[in-house]
Amino acid sequence: MLICNKCRLLLIMMAIGMAAMVSCTSPSKVVYFNNFKDTAIAANQKDSLAKKLHIGQYDFENLIQKNDQLWITVGGSNINDLLVINSANGVPAGTATSTLPQGGSSTGYFVEADGKVKLPYLGAVKAEGLTRRQLETFLTEKLKDFTKDPIVNVRFLNYGFSVMGEVTKPGRYPMVTERTTILEALSMAGDLSDMGKRESVLVIREVNGQREFARINLLSKDVFTSPYYYLKTNDVIYVEPAKARFINRTGIPQYLGIAAVGISLLITIINLVK
């Protein structure tokens, strides 16, 4: 069987090209925010990314929900008045420290199914739907009837999120602050694996008993202005595997199998033209 030199070269190039295509990934598929341009920020100050980030950061606050656990402490001038309130938090009476208890040493106050917390002196207090600061302000006013110059601190005890799928360390993680971003969450989980689908990260959120689903594209700068950029408590982040990189039942990535076919084809062609 005779094959001209040009045809022989073409076949070899085709085989090598096929193997190369299946073993390489475009940088645009793995580099985060690859459409980010500094000039876009300066072009229009009114709609700039920096302004949107500023508004999102300072306007964002989580609302208290049913089944939340709240760490509530009251400081003031009369230690004896505060003893009962602070006892549920394991905090010395008369203090209003902002440091959360470590190692699960405190159960705090539970938000019941009716959205209320049961507090000494005040009884059942509506907490659901309020921000942490709104509840602090409300309790400060109410407790003035029971102690002098109360200082109220409210924090979340069960504040956390879950990360699943193609990340290095999937699991549930606590939120240190109320403004934890999806980027910080993924960093805590060790970042996406090589197989993670960066252009379509799923965020599952429960709002008023209804589940919301949103897709985040980590390859785009639009992630910074997404309403899901800042996480809420009990959010679930799921990173899908890229379809082109599924592992088959033998445990071998598909692209390695395709590359092997290309190499075999190349060897066959070389043997035929000898």
Residue 86: the pLDDT is 73
Give this prediction's pTM. 0.60
- Least Cα distance to 146 among 77, 90, 196, 244 occurs for 77
pLDDT confidence of residue 42: 47
pLDDT in the model for residue 76: 77
Residues of the chain falling short of pLDDT 70: 1-60, 85, 87-107, 243-274
| 249, two tokens | 């039942």
237 and 169 in contact (C-beta within 8 Å)?
Answer: no
Integer Cα distance of 106 and 65 in angstroms? 19
Distance CA(187)–CA(170), nearest Å, equals 11
Joined together, the tokens standing for residue 243 give 């379809």
pLDDT value, residue 3: 53
The H or E element spanning position 43 is: helix 38-43
Distance of alpha carbon 101 from alpha carbon 89, whole angstroms:
8
DSSP string for 93-147: TT----PPPSTT----EE--TTSEEEETTTEEEE-TT-BHHHHHHHHHHHHTTTS
Cα–Cα dist 27/255, whole Å = 17
Site of tokens 């009837």? 145
Distance CA 241, CA 170 (A): 14
How many residues are present in the chain? Answer: 274
**149: which 2 tokens?**
């110059």
pLDDT for 105 = 40
Please determine, looking at this structure, whether the domain spanning 69-156 carries the CATH number 3.40.630.10: no
pLDDT at 215 (0 to 100): 94
Domain boundaries, given as residue ranges, for the chain? 29-60+159-244, 69-156
Fold (CATH) for 29-60+159-244:
Outer membrane lipoprotein wza fold like (3.10.560)
Domain 29-60+159-244 and domain 69-156, same fold? Reply is: no
pLDDT of 98: 44
Task: Compute the half-sphere exposure of residue 209: CA atoms within 13 Å on the CB side of its CA.
Answer: 5
